[in-house]
Structure 1
């Protein structure tokens, strides 16, 4: 086995969950070159996953939108002379790509009518398996053993230096202990109430031991401003001020990260930092943290969240509101003991 193609998924958290796939492949085929095909928005994460030798970007809405560009991509894949392709993505189009690229062994889920394009058809896992296990199941079905199922991301020395400079500018000394709070989420129902975040910030800052940093994407800036408007104290604001790799370095610098079920929660866990995950409508059995950092999960059974809930027009978001500041602080104190 010389060249292996992994067709990856499209979203930040899911790509993080795919990271143990590459470790297992490299352990099974240490001499092989492992190449990953994925969309542009996850490139930075892929660059941080160990054991990926090359990344091929499929820009389906940009550079590769036209039929001619897609054919050009297929031709470039054919020239690589891959021995095998593992399709973590369930897209019919991607299955067609690897088929037309002439890859002799094609392993993936037999869904969406794409079985014709696969040489090894994988049956989906029964029940509510963790997202990471769905990806690992693809390679396990081919006979590859998985020794370590933890997610892992590498932090660059450059990113560490850049974050150190940011924190120094905020009067954070190397010996100071940091708590990072990520209040954002990719949909509103996964967000803990801003009033609770404000109370949590005040409590941690009043202890005098912690430097509290609020982080997030540029679109989370209004959320940060709302939290500040409810807070007595002002935490350090790095919302929208870091790249993805710098955010990883910040998470690794932290003593603990507090976040809802979102990409930054999994970033933190995957760089080895302890986390508190605040879960409401989603299920930790499916999307809980899988990294080497210790993970404390907070979720209350309110009836409607016994299975993952995607009722985006929920009128009261009771599953997140039911988790109190005291609940979070209890978990926090147990972890730092």
Structure 2
């Protein structure tokens, strides 16, 4: 008979390597564990880029695994932790690579997802499983790990660390005038299809500039696709209405830029969850992923949700017909989002958060 999960763990390991948005959604679980077990050590085994985003998170010891290092990197990590034994390992990464990595970690208990949520046979690598939680938001799926350890206070808190030099970096790009952050692209994974249209974004930039005097700061990584899309958006917009900062920020600088924004707009990608974590008003654009599962958690009511339309159009199904987490992998799906509905959500979100705008001006 297996022993129960520890009632008062002294050293908790979290295994979650990627991605940026998921790392942001996991931070409230860390904060809940810290409130419940203030004396416990928390070690988070994390990916290299994700560590760049969250470095300095209070009360957390990070151990970084560079996914590009493969098995050699795993061996280095195992040697680094050879003298460490955890009371419990929270196995939050549903990927075979992470499960193989977990084999070299010493833990009295290994907690993973229930079989319905488990992927890549993760349940073979754990001693305990979460209770079932169908149709959970990603943030709540992570919080289930804290609840399984007895956490009752599960209110979402982040307190992300943003150093002064990151705000200096952001200021050099944004200046003093109020601005929106628009992150047009998601990351370039195979058949991701989460990017909206150049023309749609340009319409939103124009509306924000003419109606509210808000310039738009375009953000993103240095890839050719992101640079090209930002250039096309800028070419359609009035001079002065757009700052092209694509490829020009560090991750901490991006956090600072988002923190100072009046509002952030993005598809289902890291910056939409970074904005949510910073309590920046957030407008998510969703068609290929279900926002009930992956929307910016605090701003779910303001999401533009074309996911049901995409299911009907490309799969001839409704939300109730498909598995939780089903994606619509069609290149035209995001085109179902109309500029008018994004602009209407933008107006509603700016109105609902008008007090924040007044504070930003003083």
Superposition deviation, residue 286 in structure 1: 0.6
Instruction: Give the equivalent residue in structure 1 for 2:207.
Output: 203
Contact 2:15–2:92 under 8 Å retained in 1: yes
Which sections of structure 1, spanning at least 5 residues, go unmatched?
none
Q: Equivalent residue for 2:289?
A: 282
Secondary structure of the residue that 1:218 maps to in structure 2? coil
Matched, 1:141 2:138: no
* Alpha carbons 1:23, 1:51 under 8 Å: kept: no
Question: What's 1:311 paired with?
Answer: 328
In 2, Cα distance between the equivalents of 1:104 and 1:97? 16
**Structure 2: how far apart are the matches of 1:116 and 1:196?**
46
Report if aligned partners of 2:197, 2:335 keep a CA contact under 8 Å in 1: no
Q: Describe how 1:56-67 pairs up with structure 2 within 5 A.
A: 56-62=63-69, 64-66=70-72
Matches within 5 A, 1:40-119: 40-47=48-55, 49-52=57-60, 54-62=61-69, 64-66=70-72, 70-109=74-113, 111=118, 112-115=120-123, 117-119=125-127
CA distance in 2, matches of 1:196, 1:99: 47
**Residues 260-297 of structure 1: CA distance to partner in whole angstroms, max 9, x if unpaired?**
22211111121121111222222221111125x79621
Structure 1 contact 108–120 (Cα < 8 Å) conserved: yes
| Contact map agreement 2:178 2:214 (CA 8 A) in 1 | yes
Aligned to 1:131: 138
What is the match of residue 257 of structure 2? 250
Q: CA RMSD in A?
A: 2.7
Unaligned runs of 5+ in 2: 1-8, 313-317, 320-324, 355-362
- Cα deviation digits, residues 97-136 of structure 1 (max 9, x gap): 445433112211254445454332334422x210111111
Q: Could you tell me how far apart the structure 2 residues matched to 1:122 and 1:326 are?
A: 40
Tell me the equivalent position of 1:164.
171
- Cα distance, 1:328–1:113 mapped onto 2, change above 3 Å: closer
Q: Which moved more, 1:89-98 or 1:251-260?
A: 89-98
8 Å CA contact 2:46–2:62 kept in 1: the answer is yes
**Structure 1 254/60 Cα, relative in aligned 2: closer, same or farther at 3 Å?**
closer
Aligned residues: 325
Q: Give the one of 190, 210, 216 matched to 1:212.
A: 216
TM-score normalised by the chain length of structure 1: 0.85
**Displacement, 1:224?**
0.8
**Runs of 4+ displaced beyond 3 Å:** 48-51, 69-72, 91-101, 110-117, 305-309, 313-318, 321-326
Shift of 1:157: 1.9
Q: For 1:280-325, what per-residue CA distance to the aligned partner results, in whole angstroms no more than 9, with x for missing partners?
A: 222221111125x796212244262654653333446443247545
Partner of 1:2: 10
C-alpha distance 72-26 of structure 1, shift in aligned 2 (>3 A): same
Partner of 2:236: 230
How much has 1:25 moved relative to structure 2?
Answer: 1.4
Whole-Å Cα distance in 2 between the matches of residues 74 and 318 of structure 1? 46
Q: 1:35 to 1:302 in 2, by over 3 A?
A: same
Give the Cα separation in 2 of the matches to 1:150 and 1:312: 33
CA distance in 2, matches of 1:303, 1:311: 7
Report deviation, 1:150.
4.4
CA contact (8 A) 1:154 1:271 kept: no
Q: From the superposition, tell whether residues 298 and 101 of structure 1 become closer, same or farther in structure 2 (CA, over 3 Å).
A: closer
Q: Using structure 2 for the length normalisation, give the TM-score.
A: 0.79
